[in-house]
Chains A and B, each alone.
Chain A
Amino acid sequence: MTTTTHTRTAALALGDDALVLSHRLGEWMGHAPVLEEEVALGNIALDLLGQARILLSMAGDEDELAYLREERAFRNLQLVEQPNGDFAHTIVRQLYFSTYQHLLYGRLAATEGPFAGLAAKAVKEVAYHRDHAEQWTLRLGDGTEESHGRTQVACTALWRFTGEMFRPVDGLGLDPAELEPAWLESVRGVLKRAGLAVPEGPRTGAWSAGAGREGLHTESFGRMLAEMQHLHRSHPGASW
């Protein structure tokens, strides 16, 4: 493999993470619990979409990659494709992912590699995503019995998708495993402050079968892609 191919592989992994999570957050439009959160989730989705456009353009044609690939060709983490569930579920997914993405971009920004420029820019945006997720986790975990219960369920349900974030990505220029101690310390700290139990189950296992980075996705991802790609596939080249 040439250096370019390695870079393309990593660009696809990070770009797909941003694209897929952006689409999931976009699904909240018209459904968020309050107007301010509708706006917040939409803005976070927009930041992620901007990052996805730059990353996918490093890997090829952004529109072709987003709209014309089959499920098995996507390289995103299984975590980001998980359905929104209730608001607590979305917030916990945000907490797990934005903590990881913030640490990752922070490290990439300090390298000389092909992702340094984007990472230096995006790390500042993701700092706000992480702050948003942490503040909401504290409010929900330390809120009512109902909000606490739902958030605890979400923490536990999504825990098993968090191990994949720290597996090696070809062409990235650093080993994501180096981010794991800081991620664990940060997430555990937020959960404890929110009065939530830190899940104890495994964070990866045989069920993940190599997981999203290998192109193996969970059941709901195909349905999400069908909706995301429907318009482009039905009306190729359509514009407005």
Chain B
Amino acid sequence: MVTLTPLEAELLEIAGSVLDPELPVVTLRELGVLRAVHVRAADAVEVELTPTYTGCPAVEAMSLDIERALHAHGVREVTVRTVLSPAWSTDDISAEGRRKLREFGIAPPRVRAASEPVGVTLGPTRTLAPEPTADPGGAALEPIRCPHCGSTDTELLSRFSSTACKALRRCLDCREPFDHFKEL
């Protein structure tokens, strides 16, 4: 991690407090998409932003919101640059971000076990296809919990939901449908 100057730390804080346009409870810092802020000259700042998905249309809205926030703080020239490497992962979402997603009614992405697969207790599921206990990359996953009642007895309705980053599920205890932020 590069050491930040006090000014860069301050600007990172401001840019990081911008809310996600699609999930307006989570900040860009909590989402883990803000990579760096560089002061290039007096009044000129470059911000590095990484997309959640390559085709995510929210990136443009995020860039505009960052520019607006920094302009309001007196920065004259703001350049937002999109960086791809290292690729964003749902593991970059902070614990606070996950808590806020759950409160917003979205089951947060599960954290991947980096080491050996861990034994997990799975609730009964009624999806026809067996519930994956690992993501497509093979990492072990814990069961998904309904964000409303906490039950692990949920079923998959569709692998893709209102946005590319979410899947649509239904809780079989409280019967509420909910979005699940897919592990990426």
List A residues at the B interface (Cβ < 8 Å): 36-37, 39-40, 42-44, 46-51, 53-54, 116-118, 120-122, 124-125, 127-128, 130-132, 135
- The dominant DSSP class at the A interface is helix
Residues of B within 8 A of A54 (CB): 54, 84
25 contacts between A and B (CB under 8 A): A36-B157, A39-B168, A40-B158, A40-B159, A43-B163, A46-B57, A47-B53, A47-B54, A49-B55, A50-B54, A117-B85, A117-B87, A118-B54, A120-B85, A120-B86, A120-B87, A121-B88, A122-B54, A124-B89, A124-B137, A124-B184, A127-B136, A127-B137, A128-B159, A128-B160
Q: Would you call B129 and A39 a contact (CB within 8 A)?
A: no
Of all chain A residues, the one with the shortest Cβ separation from B59 is: A50
Out of A36, A49, A117, A131, which one reaches B136, CB within 8 Å? A131
Q: Does B118 contact A (CB under 8 A)?
A: no
Out of A40, A48, A51, A128, which one reaches B182, CB within 8 Å? A128
Out of A51, A121, A135, which one reaches B87, CB within 8 Å? A121
For window 126-184 of B, CB contacts with A under 8 Å fall at: 129, 135-137, 157-164, 168, 182, 184
Q: Would you call B84 and A121 a contact (CB within 8 A)?
A: yes
Q: Does B51 contact A (CB under 8 A)?
A: yes
Q: Does B56 contact A (CB under 8 A)?
A: yes
Q: In the bound complex, what is the Cα–Cα distance between A54 and B158 (angstroms)?
A: 28
Instruction: Report the minimal beta-carbon distance from B147 to chain A, rounded to whole angstroms.
Output: 20
Residues of B within 8 A of A127 (CB): 135-137
Rank and list the top 9 A-B pairs by shortest CB-CB distance, nearest first.
A50-B55, A127-B136, A50-B54, A36-B158, A40-B160, A117-B85, A121-B87, A43-B160, A117-B84
Q: In the bound complex, what is the Cα–Cα distance between A117 and B51 (angstroms)?
A: 12
Residues of A within 8 A of B85 (CB): 116-117, 120-121
Given contacts A47-B53, A47-B54, A125 and B160 within 8 Å (CB-CB): no
Of all chain B residues, the one with the shortest Cβ separation from A49 is: B55
How many contacts between A and B, using CB within 8 angstroms? 80
Q: Which bucket holds chain B's interface residue count? A: 20 to 34
Instruction: Report the minimal beta-carbon distance from B116 to chain A, rounded to whole angstroms.
Output: 21
Q: In the bound complex, what is the Cα–Cα distance between A121 and B137 (angstroms)?
A: 13
Of all chain B residues, the one with the shortest Cβ separation from A102 is: B136
Instruction: Report the minimal beta-carbon distance from B111 to chain A, rounded to whole angstroms.
Output: 15
Instruction: Report the minimal beta-carbon distance from B162 to chain A, rounded to whole angstroms.
Output: 7
Residues of A within 8 A of B159 (CB): 40, 128, 131-132, 135
Of all chain B residues, the one with the shortest Cβ separation from A41 is: B160
Of all chain B residues, the one with the shortest Cβ separation from A132 is: B159
Instruction: Report the minimal beta-carbon distance from A230 to chain B, rounded to whole angstroms.
Output: 22
Instruction: Report the minimal beta-carbon distance from B170 to chain A, rounded to whole angstroms.
Output: 12
Of all chain B residues, the one with the shortest Cβ separation from A124 is: B184
Q: In the bound complex, what is the Cα–Cα distance between A43 and B160 (angstroms)?
A: 7
Of all chain A residues, the one with the shortest Cβ separation from B158 is: A36
Residues of A within 8 A of B135 (CB): 127
Instruction: Report the minimal beta-carbon distance from A171 to chain B, rounded to whole angstroms.
Output: 19
Q: Would you call A50 and B51 a contact (CB within 8 A)?
A: yes
Residues of A within 8 A of B89 (CB): 124
Of all chain B residues, the one with the shortest Cβ separation from A45 is: B55
